[in-house]
Structure 1
Amino acid sequence: MADLTHLRDLLDSQAKALQVPGAAVGVIVDGTEHVLTTGVASVDAPAPVTGDTLFQIGSTTKTVTATAIMHLVEQGLLDLDGRVRRYLPDLRLADEQAAEELTVRHLLTHTGGFLGDVDDGDSWGADALAASITTYDRLPQLFAPGRLASYSNAGFRLLGRIVEVVCGKPYETAVGEIVLTPLGMDSSSFFPWEVATRPHAVGHVVRPDGPHVAHTWGLFREGMPEGGLVSSVRDQLRYAAFHLGTGAVDGQGPIGATTRELMQREHVHLGAPWSGIGLPWLLEERAGLRLVTHGGNIGNLQLSSFVLAPEHGFAVTTLTNSAPGRVLGTLVTDWCLEHLLGVPSQAVLLPLGEPGPEYAGSYDAGQWIFEVDEKLTARFVLRPELVAAGVEGMPDMPLALVEGSDDLTIAADPKQVIGRFLRDDAGEIAFLHLGGRAARRVR
């Protein structure tokens, strides 16, 4: 059995150093599941985090939505390459041709081409998801479907609505019946009133004097397909075991092995920050090891990571309740890959080029603007309504060009390409592709 003593020490020490009030880690290695926890669910009501504490997992929910979609494909109720209007005939986009061409596969691979972030409502009504997609004709069509990948929350709302229409029941009910119940994920839920009666973590804002509870939930009901699942690390291990092909209740699961493998295969080549996109897994390669990943971020308050190495039957997930949880998740994953799978951390530094004035400008990502100066420092400017709603911003990101290209890396730690500037047919800078999103240049 793997010795995780040093991982436990790292989790305790780094959570404290990074000001992550609480975290839960799940590992599957050598056919055995391990749960490690640290800290508290809330600094105001300091109950210890356990393996059953619920966290908002954020965008890893997209893989749950996709699993439900692929179940419907297996059942012959959906066509992976079917036009979305076949299932949602009233769908309107800003570009009529794009609306006609858009397919289910485009949505699963983040290649729909329309702006990927849509305004949130404030409803928990059963019609919230249907109402949200009636506004999609206001989303700029950045490029034709299938031309480019740009991370799209809006696309997953459409997939959630397709689940509702095909199943004839609310998204949450359908996903519960198709995915959660068969996999024994009995603690996982979408609704805050169900979570409130169980041990759960709350998000924290980190201030100079330490972490403070953020008195906000995060997503409303229209956002459930893109990031609304609340889950425990034990339930996440059940989910990981299934997608590794090693776990299901009574041998049954929502999809078969061939479909699981199809979801984990590269369907779109990306290059950075991931090597490619599956259906809709985010794919990476490290020292020849294939990684199938996702993760989530709820308002920079609860952050999670989820990593599979299918050829090794390995998984690691980290659930946290403050923004530095992103760093903690990376440290945990890197430790596991190095000490459990023998994959060393990447240490090769990329050669850097000199930035030019042509890159400076404003790039619209929907919910925020990237303001990039001539030194390539990217400043996140949230929309005023998000600031008013208490959404936490992101710190400035000092970037650097990789020599001889438009590729971008972190200036202080240039070990990997994390994005790039994209040019139009005339050779002018048209997009900043960063964090998987294509942000259109507006100045």
Structure 2
Amino acid sequence: MHDEPRTDAERRALAAFTAAEPPADFADRVLAALAAEGRSEPERAPFRRFFGLGAPRLVGVAAAGVLAVAVAAVAAAAAGWMPEWTGLSRHVPEVIQAQPPRDEAPIGAVLPEGPPVPALALPADLADRIDAYVGAFGRNYGEAFEFHGVVGVVKDGELLLARGYGRADLARESPIDADTKFRIGSLTQTFTAIAVLQLRDRGLVDLDAPVRKYIPDYPAIGGRITVRQLLTHTSGIPSYTDAAVFSLGHTRAVAAADVRAIFQDQPLEFVPGTDFDLSNSGYFLLGQLVEQVAREPFADYLRANVLAPAGMRSSGIGLAADAIGHEFDEDEVLVPAAERHSSAYGGAAGMVSTAADLARWDRALRTPGLLLSQKSLDEMTTVVRDEYGMGWFVRQDGGSTIAWHPGGVEGYNATIARFLGDGITVFVLANTEAVDTRAVAYDLAQIVHGGAVQPPREFAEIRLSAPQLARYVGNYVLTETTHKELKGLVEEGELSAIEQVRVFRTGDRLWMNVPEHGDKWMHFMGEDRFFFKDPSATIAEFGPPGAPVAHLTLQAGELRFILKKE
């Protein structure tokens, strides 16, 4: 769900046809013509080169944008964080009061010295360059698309820069700084993996033992799934946050049994160990495994054994966030998100943290023996399948090894990227869904390493009159050729979500309705092309030029969907 298309191949192909009334199979012929043209892949945003992602899906929700479900499917190698466009409630989120710790284990302020790393000279104007880059968000798209959150740069475990932007609560003046608490979504999984590997280091958990050894009441299928497969997202257990019935936790704490009931009796997606698919169910179970082995709540184990040794005073599960999560509604106005209770996410996505604490987290991970043995630290960042190790995605780029992870729950998104060679870590925490923190983290890393970055791409809108917009109104159905082209890339059930869309007009606005995913405002950019302002960066193009509209092409990253007008 995020990459920006940077190609005009579609317009060139469409222009090759005459402006006469097109035949019934016109849209299918366009797709065939594009294939015959032998066009190259659309230019990828630099972020893709760096992190190797398309539009991921994850925690609590599906992918954002017009092609939310379908685009999410090709991101199996991605981290799946981005919340879906839901039409968006104006419900004010329940504020969960912080719970006092159950013990008073001291939290150290100073960590042992980390290993030596190569020197890296940071740009002298680093802060000014970051300010200029972040300040460009919303310049064309408006206030709702400004960046609200904090960015951080860590070198050798020391927080060199933390810049807060926007407001923690848009309803009042509430600045953001390094100590502002954010929900971090599936970044929680990096902590959950540490907890499990700690127990392995202590001889209490065998990674190759079946899940039922540690969670005896799990169904029989747990005898065929190992702890290692949960850690590496190779278990085949479907992710419960993708389920239509995932409606738990909006008003109160929920029992683990209620969460497990969503997924534990569902068929596996594949034979365990034979494939990779992100599964929040797996990491929810790992939180339960820790509870069973340690004989204490997962939040308590995490605080005493992971967070306290790392010096993370303001992080944990069950804490209240200072920054209120926001989503943007159909009128592209930011409104408070309807948050779920952390018990609905547990070891998959239940944590709160701060910029200052994430710097301490990075330092702890660079200090063998503090949380894990060197062997276990290395194992976390050793790729098992599809650029994923244990709790971390791992990329090789320009000779550097980068361990990174995105995360998100309703109203929040976050990304951390750790350069294992030169001691640099960058992270971004946001309390809106309007800005993709993965892209910000990539550009931030470029700036830190002395590279040049372009300001965020925000298209200029051109106003059309109501009669001009009427040309595009109609129902559009996915072509058979497109269906065949995407089979295997997009799961059948997910592809069906884009089988038919409706384009309609209200006043001087054009909208697209995707069944079960709400209405999206379409903004005209010229030459029969429209853009959407949400992070999916989907482009819609109608054609053929100069003739009655016969088809609609939707381009989202590397995915192209051609739909015929009924």
2:315 is matched with 188
What amino acid sits opposite 1:260 in the alignment? Answer: L
Matched, 1:221 2:322: no
Quick one: structure 1 residues 76 and 30, their matched pair in 2 at CA, closer, same or farther if it must change by over 3 Å?
closer
1:264 is matched with 381
2:234 is matched with 111
Find the residue that maps to 1:254 and give its secondary structure.
coil
Give matches, 1:172-187, under 5 Å: 172-187=299-314
Please list the CA deviations of residues 273-306 of structure 1 after superposition, one character each: whole Å capped at 9, or x if unmatched: xxx111021122333432111111112x100011
Give, in angstroms, the shift of residue 215 of structure 1. 4.8
Matched, 1:236 2:353: no
Give matches, 1:150-169, under 5 Å: 150-169=277-296
Matched positions, count: 363
2:390 is matched with 279
Structure 2 CA distance, aligned partners of 1:312 and 1:355? 47
Q: Is the 8 A contact 2:137 2:147 kept in 1?
A: no
- Given candidates 441, 446, 450, the residue that maps to 1:333 is 441
Find the residue that maps to 1:28 and give its secondary structure.
strand
Q: Is the 8 A contact 2:317 2:342 kept in 1?
A: no
Give, in angstroms, the shift of residue 241 of structure 1. 1.9
Matched, 1:303 2:428: no
Structure 1 CA distance, aligned partners of 2:145 and 2:418? 27
> In terms of mean alpha carbon deviation, does 255-264 or 111-120 score higher?
111-120
Quick one: structure 1 residues 108 and 345, their matched pair in 2 at CA, closer, same or farther if it must change by over 3 Å?
farther
Find the residue that maps to 1:66 and give its secondary structure.
helix
- Given candidates 109, 132, 153, the residue that maps to 2:259 is 132
Structure 2 CA distance, aligned partners of 1:355 and 1:236? 47
Give, in angstroms, the shift of residue 180 of structure 1. 1.0
**Which structure would you say has the larger Rg?**
2
Give matches, 1:4-403, under 5 Å: 4=126, 5-14=128-137, 19-20=145-146, 22-29=148-155, 32-33=158-159, 34-92=161-219, 96=220, 98-118=221-241, 119-122=246-249, 128-191=255-318, 194-195=319-320, 200-207=322-329, 211-245=333-367, 253-268=370-385, 270=386, 276-299=387-410, 301-326=411-436, 329-341=437-449, 356-359=482-485, 363=491, 371-373=497-499
Quick one: structure 1 residues 13 and 343, their matched pair in 2 at CA, closer, same or farther if it must change by over 3 Å?
closer
Q: Is the 8 A contact 1:113 1:148 kept in 2?
A: yes
Please list the CA deviations of residues 37-83 of structure 1 after superposition, one character each: whole Å capped at 9, or x if unmatched: 11111110220111111111000001111111111010111011111
Give, in angstroms, the shift of residue 257 of structure 1. 2.3
What amino acid sits opposite 1:102 in the alignment? Answer: I
Structure 2 CA distance, aligned partners of 1:209 and 1:69? 44
Structure 2 CA distance, aligned partners of 1:295 and 1:190? 18
What amino acid sits opposite 2:196 in the alignment? Answer: I
Structure 2 CA distance, aligned partners of 1:108 and 1:379? 38
Give, in angstroms, the shift of residue 175 of structure 1. 0.9
Percent of pairs with identical residues = 25
Structure 2 CA distance, aligned partners of 1:380 and 1:307? 34
Quick one: structure 1 residues 411 and 333, their matched pair in 2 at CA, closer, same or farther if it must change by over 3 Å?
same
What amino acid sits opposite 2:227 in the alignment? Answer: V
Structure 2 CA distance, aligned partners of 1:51 and 1:211? 26
Structure 2 CA distance, aligned partners of 1:59 and 1:9? 29
Structure 2 CA distance, aligned partners of 1:289 and 1:370? 40
Quick one: structure 1 residues 380 and 190, their matched pair in 2 at CA, closer, same or farther if it must change by over 3 Å?
farther
Please list the CA deviations of residues 251-271 of structure 1 after superposition, one character each: whole Å capped at 9, or x if unmatched: x62212221111111111x2x
5+ long unaligned stretches in structure 1: 247-251, 271-275, 347-353, 385-392, 400-409, 420-443
Structure 2 CA distance, aligned partners of 1:379 and 1:156? 34
Structure 2 CA distance, aligned partners of 1:111 and 1:14? 37
Give, in angstroms, the shift of residue 363 of structure 1. 4.0
Q: Is the 8 A contact 2:158 2:359 kept in 1?
A: no
What amino acid sits opposite 1:291 in the alignment? Answer: I
| Length-normalised TM-score, structure 2 | 0.58
Q: Is the 8 A contact 2:316 2:353 kept in 1?
A: yes
Q: Is the 8 A contact 2:342 2:351 kept in 1?
A: no
Structure 2 CA distance, aligned partners of 1:184 and 1:163? 21
Quick one: structure 1 residues 190 and 357, their matched pair in 2 at CA, closer, same or farther if it must change by over 3 Å?
closer
Structure 1 CA distance, aligned partners of 2:516 and 2:132? 37
Structure 1 CA distance, aligned partners of 2:259 and 2:329? 34
1:351 is matched with none
Q: Is the 8 A contact 2:157 2:363 kept in 1?
A: no
Quick one: structure 1 residues 413 and 84, their matched pair in 2 at CA, closer, same or farther if it must change by over 3 Å?
closer
Higher relative contact order structure (alpha carbons within 8 Å, sequence separation ≥ 6) = 2
Quick one: structure 1 residues 330 and 90, their matched pair in 2 at CA, closer, same or farther if it must change by over 3 Å?
closer
Give, in angstroms, the shift of residue 19 of structure 1. 1.7
Q: Which structure carries more strand by proportion? A: 1
Q: Is the 8 A contact 1:23 1:321 kept in 2?
A: yes
Quick one: structure 1 residues 9 and 364, their matched pair in 2 at CA, closer, same or farther if it must change by over 3 Å?
same
Q: Is the 8 A contact 2:536 2:556 kept in 1?
A: no
| Length-normalised TM-score, structure 1 | 0.72
Find the residue that maps to 2:281 and give its secondary structure.
helix
Structure 1 CA distance, aligned partners of 2:341 and 2:349? 8
Give, in angstroms, the shift of residue 223 of structure 1. 1.0
